[in-house]
Chains A and B, each alone.
Chain A
Amino acid sequence: MTEALPDTQQGESISAPMQGMPMVVIAQLVKQFGKLRAVDNLSMTINAGETYGLIGPNGSGKTTLIRMLVGLMKPTSGTISIMGEHVPSPKIAPHIGYMTQLSALYLDLTAKENMQFFCRIYGLHGKEQNQRISEMLERVELADRANDVVGTFSGGMKQRLSLACALVHHPRLAFLDEPTVGVDPELRRSFWDYFEQLNNEGVTLIVSTHHLDEASRCTRLGLMRSGKLLAQDTPHELLRRSGKENMEDAFLYFARQQEAQK
């Protein structure tokens, strides 16, 4: 079951899976950096319309996994398919949004000019572009700084603009690598409200975070540690299975289980 996506890439159309059907399928994925195995035999399926949280400490392989998923890095072995296409594929590029850990922005351009650039390389022009830009700037509370040069922004503001740039082209699937770093608690909540809204519109989100308190806002979680998937389930189920009160304790529980298996 699929739904046709608007044709933004000349002549190349692609169908996005319907709600609940597999969006991202990862099989036996391995990434080796010299002696370090950053991602270790990872298999998972992420369904359309989910907010999938990748939870784990720094260095657990979250960013490496995301970089392989968006096609920036070649896996050592294993396969990734997104919307039924093997990664990397030019067919899926127009439908993917990517927010890097570093707020990747042009510091010498204004907030609006940054967004205009990303709109234009995704084929968003004219009135639709202007409308979308003001909508997104409003959403991340930067409307009043639209014409200021990004170099003058604080870390949190850059992070917010970075999110706006990643989502400006209505992606069907968005990879957000630590989107809430440096964002104050109030705005963090508003981010997650927005993620939920996107979810309801059928957008699939893959969000990495090491804020364990954000985990409960995801539909499903993958707990990662040393490149391995410790456990994968809904937040509720993970708490139930571990018999713990909060996600932090649950994470430690699964981590100890992994140690014990060695």
Chain B
Amino acid sequence: MNIARIRALAGRIIRQLLRDKRTLALLFIAPLVVMSLLYLVLTNTSSVHTLALVLPTGIESDRVNALIDKLLPGQDKLKTINISTNAIDSTLNNGDADAAIVFPPDFTQQLAQGQKPHVQIVLEGSDPTVASAMYDASNALVHQLGVAIAAIRTQELQGGQGTPPFISNDIPFTIDGPRYLHGGPQYTFNDSLAPVFIGVFSFFFVFVLTSVAFLRERSQGTIERVIVSPLTHAELVMGYVCGFVLFAFVQSLLILLFIILVLRVHYSGNLALVFLVSALLTIGSVNLGIFLSTFAHNEFQIVQFVPLVLGIQVFLSGIFWPIAQLPAALRPISYILPLTYANDALRGVMLKNSNIGDISVQLTALLIFALLMIVLSSLTMRRQIA
């Protein structure tokens, strides 16, 4: 391997792409447009939802209820009704409310005795978008309440004099839930659709760009010059990978920033791991592109590979529907798709702050995919010139 030659090739690919402004725009802007559209379609924020409250009824409950009342006006587009414990399911089923927060009757007593009472969030759940929004709203409300109670208790312990030495952020009760009346924790944009876009877009664009670039090398005849030169097959593949990895990284970063800053999706994770997943996927994608370009005679035939390569993955890699919910016959296919593992890894890193150990299985699978594609692309390299 000669680094200077790999750099020469990678440099050429970067220069060619930078010159193609339309492709650049597609590469960097299209993902953002698609994500914005999906976001608007999947999170319908226009309607008003109703939250049912089952308030505590025991001794000294008034203080807590007053606190809840004070917190409520801060909630946007949220109506509240008070119901009793036995009316929860019927209220939700009737559509009078979309979610309920259930306090035990003796909530205040339990707090006073230093026990941790359980607060339950119940979601109607038939519309995953609403369920997700209501869960976020209820959760926020209960958390605010918890912080407020904790602050009051700290003050009381100090006898109400001066500033407390510390304000405990520990919420003095347990939040159970959510319990779903229908459905379950569905995949919604907010929690788990956003991270997978990094994988899907970089895989798709790198695949299309590599196969077209390689096809052009073949039809222009430049591949013959390159093969006659001292550049080896391995260097050729490496050069292509290095050139396209750069664009995949820039794209991933853009998508990431867009998710965090514009769509305001919760993100906790290690950026280096996101790039590691993106890099492994790019290596596989470049080589798949080289491999499949061997079987195409023109750009139109490359386009024909797109539904085959991308369509299947969009449906079966767990982007919209969890793999566990797929028909048993389709599940084995899911497990041979690279995006299945990339999606898992990206969700883990970005939503659950997984470390490299947590996603080692997914990383290994992506590595195997990359190596397999390298083997395939080298095997067909001979055919590229003949």
Listed in ascending order, the chain A residues whose CB lies under 8 Å from chain B are 8-10, 67, 70-73, 90, 93-94, 96, 98, 100, 102-109, 113, 117-118, 120-123, 125, 149, 165-166
Q: Chain B's interface: helix, strand, loop or mixed, by majority?
A: helix
| Residue pair A120, B221 in contact (C-beta under 8 Å) | no
Q: Report A20 CB to chain B, min CB distance, Å.
A: 26
Q: Report A12 CB to chain B, min CB distance, Å.
A: 9
Task: Give chain B residues whose Cβ lies under 8 Å from the Cβ of A105.
Answer: 220, 222
Q: How far is the CA of A8 from the CA of B225 in the complex (A)?
A: 17
| Residue pair A100, B221 in contact (C-beta under 8 Å) | yes
Listed in ascending order, the chain B residues whose CB lies under 8 Å from chain A are 2, 4-5, 7-9, 11-12, 15-16, 19-20, 220-222, 224-232, 385-386
Contact A90:B228 (CB < 8 A) given known A102-B220, A108-B19, A120-B4 = no
Residue in B closest to A119 when the chains form the complex, CB atoms? B8
| Residue pair B4, A108 in contact (C-beta under 8 Å) | no
Task: Give chain B residues whose Cβ lies under 8 Å from the Cβ of A106.
Answer: 12, 16, 220, 222
User: Can you spell out 21 A-B residue pairs with CB atoms less than 8 angstroms apart?
Assistant: A70-B224, A90-B230, A93-B228, A93-B229, A100-B221, A102-B220, A103-B221, A105-B220, A105-B222, A106-B222, A107-B220, A108-B19, A109-B15, A118-B229, A120-B4, A120-B5, A120-B8, A121-B8, A122-B229, A122-B230, A166-B225
Q: How far is the CA of A165 from the CA of B8 in the complex (A)?
A: 15
Contact A100:B224 (CB < 8 A) given known A109-B12, A120-B5 = yes
Task: Give chain B residues whose Cβ lies under 8 Å from the Cβ of A67.
Answer: 224
Q: Report A80 CB to chain B, min CB distance, Å.
A: 14
Task: Give chain B residues whose Cβ lies under 8 Å from the Cβ of A149.
Answer: 19
Q: How far is the CA of A90 from the CA of B232 in the complex (A)?
A: 8
Listed from nearest, the 10 A-B pairs whose CB atoms lie closest are A120-B8, A104-B221, A102-B221, A93-B230, A98-B228, A104-B222, A70-B228, A117-B12, A94-B230, A121-B231
Contact A108:B20 (CB < 8 A) given known A100-B224, A121-B8, A125-B4 = yes
Task: Give chain B residues whose Cβ lies under 8 Å from the Cβ of A103.
Answer: 221
Which of B8, B9, B20 has the largest number of chain A CB atoms within 10 A? B8
Task: Give chain A residues whose Cβ lies under 8 Å from the Cβ of B12.
Answer: 106, 109, 113, 117
Assuming A72-B385, A98-B228, what are 17 further A-B pairs, CB within 8 angstroms?
Answer: A9-B230, A70-B224, A70-B228, A71-B228, A72-B224, A72-B386, A73-B386, A90-B230, A100-B225, A106-B222, A109-B12, A109-B16, A117-B8, A117-B11, A118-B225, A121-B9, A121-B231
Task: Give chain B residues whose Cβ lies under 8 Å from the Cβ of A166.
Answer: 225
Q: How far is the CA of A71 from the CA of B382 in the complex (A)?
A: 11
Which of A71, A96, A98, A120 has the largest number of chain B CB atoms within 10 A? A120
Q: How far is the CA of A71 from the CA of B228 in the complex (A)?
A: 7
Q: How far is the CA of A56 from the CA of B268 in the complex (A)?
A: 70
Q: How far is the CA of A166 from the CA of B222 in the complex (A)?
A: 11
Q: How far is the CA of A149 from the CA of B11 in the complex (A)?
A: 17
Q: How far is the CA of A100 from the CA of B217 in the complex (A)?
A: 13
Q: Report B16 CB to chain A, min CB distance, Å.
A: 5
Q: How far is the CA of A1 from the CA of B15 in the complex (A)?
A: 45
Q: How far is the CA of A113 from the CA of B18 in the complex (A)?
A: 13
Task: Give chain B residues whose Cβ lies under 8 Å from the Cβ of A71.
Answer: 227-228
Q: How far is the CA of A121 from the CA of B13 in the complex (A)?
A: 13
Q: Report A8 CB to chain B, min CB distance, Å.
A: 7
Q: How far is the CA of A70 from the CA of B226 in the complex (A)?
A: 12
Task: Give chain B residues whose Cβ lies under 8 Å from the Cβ of A94.
Answer: 230
Q: How far is the CA of A237 from the CA of B325 in the complex (A)?
A: 83
Task: Give chain B residues whose Cβ lies under 8 Å from the Cβ of A96.
Answer: 228
Residue in A closest to B229 when the chains form the complex, CB atoms? A121
Q: How far is the CA of A160 from the CA of B7 in the complex (A)?
A: 26
Residue in B closest to A12 when the chains form the complex, CB atoms? B230
Q: How far is the CA of A117 from the CA of B11 in the complex (A)?
A: 9
Task: Give chain A residues whose Cβ lies under 8 Å from the Cβ of B226.
Answer: 121
Task: Give chain B residues whose Cβ lies under 8 Å from the Cβ of A117.
Answer: 8-9, 11-12
Q: Report A99 CB to chain B, min CB distance, Å.
A: 9
Q: How far is the CA of A121 from the CA of B236 in the complex (A)?
A: 10
Q: How far is the CA of A103 from the CA of B222 in the complex (A)?
A: 8
Q: Report A231 CB to chain B, min CB distance, Å.
A: 29
Q: How far is the CA of A123 from the CA of B229 in the complex (A)?
A: 10
Q: How far is the CA of A254 from the CA of B127 in the complex (A)?
A: 87
Q: How far is the CA of A149 from the CA of B16 in the complex (A)?
A: 11
Q: Report B55 CB to chain A, min CB distance, Å.
A: 69
Q: Report B382 CB to chain A, min CB distance, Å.
A: 9
Contact A108:B220 (CB < 8 A) given known A9-B230, A93-B230, A121-B229 = no
Contact A72:B16 (CB < 8 A) given known A102-B220, A121-B5 = no
Task: Give chain A residues whose Cβ lies under 8 Å from the Cβ of B221.
Answer: 100, 102-104
Task: Give chain A residues whose Cβ lies under 8 Å from the Cβ of B4.
Answer: 120, 123, 125
Q: Report B6 CB to chain A, min CB distance, Å.
A: 10
Q: Report B37 CB to chain A, min CB distance, Å.
A: 31
Task: Give chain A residues whose Cβ lies under 8 Å from the Cβ of B19.
Answer: 108-109, 149
| Residue pair B225, A10 in contact (C-beta under 8 Å) | no
Q: Report A188 CB to chain B, min CB distance, Å.
A: 22
Q: Report B247 CB to chain A, min CB distance, Å.
A: 15
Task: Give chain A residues whose Cβ lies under 8 Å from the Cβ of B230.
Answer: 8-9, 90, 93-94, 121-123
Residue in A closest to B219 when the chains form the complex, CB atoms? A102
| Residue pair B224, A104 in contact (C-beta under 8 Å) | yes
